[in-house]
Amino acid sequence: MLCEDGFEVIARDFCAHVPERPYDRIVMNPPFERQQDVEHIERALGMLAPGGRLVAIASAGLQHRSDNKTERLRKKLLELDGSIRKLPAGSFKASGTAVETVLVIVDKAPAKKVMPAHEQPVPSSAKTRSPGSSKRPAPSRDIQHLLSKWRRHEAQRQQVDKERYWNAIPKTACWIRKEGSVSVTLCAALLDEPTGDCPPTQAMLKGNSSQLVLCQAGEGPEYFRGHTPGITAAKAEADNRIVRGRMRRFAELDAPTRPVAIDDFEAQEQLLDTLVPTRRVYLPRMPFQLLDVVLLPPQIVTPDGASVSILRWRGAIPKDAKIVMQVSASSRMDFDTFEAKLGSTLIPYRGHVAPSTAAHVLKEIPAPRRAELAARGLTMHDIQFGRIGRRSLYWLHDHEAGSPTGP
């Protein structure tokens, strides 16, 4: 098939392939069975040329599995300043699969022809300290301190990522999912006592339409059938409730005191949460596409304008260099630029709908119609939410025409 489409096939077995030279670009969608995606990505990184880019689709398990193979790859990605971004649920539904996936992106550092000044050996005469130079650098400017704090923060973030998946509540027929202090509980609808966020219920005895119950503090319980479509619908509604829970939670929080210390990554995350509680934004020219907002490791910016991640820096940090907080939204940018763009070129999403549900609503609208609605000023914020009876419904409301699309 590839040959018919004009591609040159150079090997039939990726695991046995040895390239003549490294590749500048690698785009891959490896198999997921038996963690082959981890093996393939790790092998592909060894084939990537300096200055090259790797983009791979992988199983969502890459974010939370705790086996040695997966943890080794996550550590390698961290060392290379790579990223793992969760893709919206149903991204490959058109291809016949509902498996949850992530996007792995690695930009390998280019080869250095000339050793930068901060990596050159210190002359012996410069190693002798003067009486006033015996002090260690301030912790926030100590590269080892920064790396240690960032890696600790990454470990905590990975633990939070694990909690975003459903975890069984011991000795119950219930599962809980958390994002920080926001949680939802899914149970068999036959509970004698409160469990997680769910109150006691005997709904299962009333019929097949109430075999599962989804609960969250601040919202009423919602019931689902127990077969696969019902479980899928319950998980999708859990995503929506997490979004609404984050909006309620972070609307009550005060932003941390400014300026935030460059080595206080928890305070930086909290600052992002208060600015963008859903951690998603969209561009005015693409009002129906949400972008994740992610805290990145700081960059060290030298007076000549060079910018290097703390994960790639070698040696002491010069006194005249700046250490700058970094954020990923539509692209990597420093925090001041990100904050300046909010409300103008980056619109914070403050709605009540998860990206997967929004995508489901928008899929019902033909592309030309979506373009027309966008041109008239409709955005993700026009996707509405309501409860009818005990069911949650979602639709796109066209204010000008006075008519909804959906639910």
Which conformational region is residue 215 in: left (phi greater than 0), alpha (psi within -120 to 50 degrees), or beta? beta
Structure tokens at 356: 């997967």
Q: Residue 283: left if φ>0, alpha if ψ -120 to 50, beta else—which one?
A: beta
Cα 196–Cα 88–Cα 215 angle in degrees, nearest 5: 20
Query: pLDDT digits over 284-311, tens only?
Result: 999 988 888 989 999 999 998 888 999 8
Tens of pLDDT, residues 353-406:
888 888 888 888 888 888 888 898 899 998 988 888 778 889 988 877 777 776
CB distance 364 to 219 below 8 Å: no
pLDDT in tens, 340-357: 999 999 999 988 888 888
Residue with tokens 């941390």: 256
**70 in Cβ contact with 58 (< 8 Å):** no
- Is residue 129 predicted with pLDDT exceeding 60? no
pLDDT per position as a tens digit, 81-121: 888 888 887 788 777 788 889 999 998 877 655 444 444 44
- pTM here is 0.63
Q: Is it true that domain 14-107 has CATH number 1.10.1370.30? A: no
* pLDDT for residue 276 is more than 50: yes
Q: Whats the size of the chain, residue-wise?
A: 407
Query: In this structure, what token pair is assigned to residue 374?
Result: 């966008």
**132 pLDDT more than 50:** no
Using CA atoms, how far apart are residues 29 and 17, in angstroms rounded to an integer? 16
Spatial distance between the Cα atoms of 185 and 169, rounded to a whole number of angstroms: 9
Residues 6+ apart with CB under 8 A from 134: none
The β-bridge relationship of strands 23-28 and 48-59 is parallel
User: So where are the chain's domains?
Assistant: 14-107, 138-161+254-348, 169-251, 355-405
Q: Report d(CA 103, CA 84) in Å as an integer.
A: 6
Q: Is 1's pLDDT higher than 80?
A: no
pLDDT at 329 over 90: no
pLDDT band at 41 (very low <50, low <70, confident <90, very high): very high
Say which residue, 334 or 81, is predicted with more confidence. Answer: 334
Residue 180 Ramachandran class (φ > 0 left, ψ -120 to 50 alpha, else beta): left
Mean pLDDT computed over every residue of the chain: 83
Instruction: Please report, to the nearest 10 degrees, the dihedral formed by the alpha carbons of residues 199, 205, 207, 211 taken in order.
Output: 50
- Report the pLDDT value the prediction gives residue 96, as an integer from 0 to 100: 78
